[in-house]
Amino acid sequence: MFGYSTLLIIIISMALVFDYINGFHDSANSIATIVSTKVLTPFQAVLWAALWNFVAYFIFKEHKVANTVAKTIHPEFVSLTVILAGLAAAIFWNLLTWWFGIPSSSSHTLIGGFIGAALAKTGRLDVIEMQNLSVTVLFIFLSPIIGMILSFIITIIINWLARKSRPYKAEQWFKRLQLVSSAAFSLGHGGNDAQKVMGLITVALLLDKSGGQHLSENAPILQTMLQNNWIPLACYTAIGLGTMTGGWRIVKTMGTRITKVTPIEGVAAETAAASTLILTEAFGIPVSTTHTVTGAIMGVGATKRLSAVRWGVTINLVWAWILTIPVSAGFAALVYWVLHSVFGLPK
C-alpha cells in the first residue's frame, strides 16, 4: 500500500512529533519546582527550559543513548512497520498519561512500543537485546533512588552551609541559583530525551537504503547518526519547541502534590536530577527524566520529615512507571497487527 520512501517520511514525521510531545509532556519536570517557588512565571520558565533543551545539541555529540535505544531490538529483526507501530504506541501512551496528569516516562514508552511491535512480528523473545533492556529496566528503579539520595545529601549540605544566613537573604540567593540548577536539569533532559528517536530515524534510513531488507547485526547505526547531522538537529529542535508549549497538567503533580518545595530545596532537587541525567547520558543509559526528578523531589521532602512526602501520590506514580513498558508493548503489538493484516504493510 505504501512504498518504503513514503513509510520513511511518515516515520520521520512521527518521530519528530513524538519528540515534540516528549517536550511538552516532560516540560513539567524542568519547570515544576522553579514555578512552584515563584522564581519564574510559567511562561518565562518554559522559555528558559526550551532554550537549554536546545543548547544540549551543541554539548552532547556522541549520541550513546540514541545508539542504546536503536539496539534494544537486534537490527536484523527491525522493519519500517515495526518502527511505525512502536512510535504510534509511544505517542498514544504519552498523550494518555499527559491527559490524566501522570508524569510517566517518554523513554520507556518508546522502548516498550519498539519491543512490542518486534515481538508481534516474530513471536520470539530472542529479538530483544537483553543486555540493553535489562540496564533500562534496572534504571527504572535506580534513577529515582539515585536522584533521591543525591538531593537528600545536597539539601543537608546546603542547609548546613546556609545555617547562619538571614532567611530572606538566603532565599534571594537560592532563587538566583535555581535559574542555574533548572538550566542544568533542562540541559540533561535535552541531552537524554532528544536522543530517544534519533536511533529509530537512523535505523529507518538504513532500512530504506537497503530496500527494506533486514539489517545486519553490525549495521552502522551510530556512524550513520554521526554522519547525518540533520537528525540530531531536528530532534533537539522538536523537543525544545515541545517544551515551550508546557505540560501544565503535570506541573501541579510535580511541583506541589509530592511535597512543598522552597527555593533552597528546588536547587537541591534540580542539581541532583541534572547530575543523574548527565552521568547516565555519558554511559549511554536511557533513563527517565520523570523518574529522576520525582525521586529528587521526594529526597528534599524527606529531609524535613518522612510525612512531608505524600507517599500515596508517589505510589500511584510508581505503578504508572511499572506499567508503561508492558502497556506500550501491548498496544504496539496491536498496532503492528492492524498495519500488517489490515493495511497490508510488509512485515
| Model confidence pLDDT, tens digit, residues 21-46 | 888 877 777 777 777 777 887 778 88
Q: What is the mean pLDDT of residues 313-339?
A: 83
Residues 6 or more apart whose Cβ sits within 8 Å of residue 256: 36
- Percent pLDDT > 90 in the chain is 24
Average pLDDT over residues 277-294: 86
- Per-residue pLDDT, averaged over 72-85, amounts to 89
Please classify residue 110 by burial: count the beta carbons closer than 10 Å to its beta carbon, then call 0-12 exposed, 13-18 middle and 19+ buried: buried
249 pLDDT exceeds 60? no
d(CA 232, CA 192) in angstroms, rounded, equals 12
pLDDT computed for residue 258 by the predictor: 45
Q: Which amino acid, one-letter code, is at 200? A: L
Find the Cα–Cα–Cα–Cα dihedral 291, 293, 294, 295, rounded to 10°.
90
CA-to-CA distance for 314 and 236, rounded, in angstroms? Answer: 30
Nearest to 286 by CA among 58, 21, 69: 69
What local confidence, expressed as pLDDT, does residue 247 receive? 56
Q: Which of 213-217, 220-224, 280-284 has the highest average model confidence (pLDDT)?
A: 280-284
pLDDT of residue 257: 47
Is the pLDDT at 253 greater than 50? The verdict is: no
The SS3 call for residue 73 is strand
Query: Rounded to an integer, what distance in angstroms lies between the CA atom of residue 150 and that of residue 300?
Result: 9
Average pLDDT over residues 158-162: 85
- Count helices and strands (H / E) in the chain: 14, 0
Q: pTM score, two decimals?
A: 0.85
* Closest residue by Cα to residue 235 from 69, 98, 103: 69
Average pLDDT over residues 324-338: 92
